[in-house]
Structure 1
Amino acid sequence: MSDQQLEAIRSLLRCVPSGRVTSYGRLAARAGIPRGARVAVAALRQTPDDQPLPWHRVLRADGRIAFATDHPHYAEQLRRLRDEGVVVSGGRVDLSRFGWAEDSPELLLPADD
């Protein structure tokens, strides 16, 4: 993965508004990286601490929180989502209700050729 791809993912994540969520795969696709969910995960993991991101707004494709329920980040993500008004039930968010305008073509970045 390139630095450009990592920054594209981070830039798009900064655009996800409070109270909305997206998935790792959707975030990568918007950044022009088809089938790039793992790249999105890596981009979040590799983000320096001095560049805070709203990481809690990114979920698995089925709307579930990706962390195990006993992981400290699970509780933190759950708290942050609920603080923003996102309903989380059984560790899952209804993407049809809280998903970020996934089909906004103006937000898509072109894929690298």
Structure 2
Amino acid sequence: MFTSTTIGDLYQIILTNTLICALEDLTTRLNKYKLTACNSDNVENEFTALLENNIRSSCLPIGVENFDGDLAAFFVIENVEKMILKPWGAKNLSLESISLGQYKNEIAAITIKLEDQRRRLTPKLYY
């Protein structure tokens, strides 16, 4: 989804239901998300302050091993919405040109696709 940075270990085997639940939780958090304005000189400090004490402020799924340690947040930087990413173990932040609205639409589309796949792949149990 992102052009400059890889977030999440997508080669890990994951449980679809866990990921769907994490994406639904993410959607709830994104719907309440308040954008903060900053400039390119203080974005790292703002990012750290936002996420250092509350992982629920991250704009990534929580509780899914694929994203453990990865962090993301949205800011308005010099009047442009940007997503700031910090992959696990990275020293530097990456900026992505995606708005909060675009990202919410992407997460919704991914969730629908996963739910469809789960329905098709789940065997029907008859009693």
**Which structure has the larger Rg?**
2
Tell me the TM-score normalised to structure 1 length: 0.27
- Structure having the higher strand fraction is 2
Q: 1 or 2 for the larger relative contact order (CA 8 Å, sep ≥6)?
A: 1
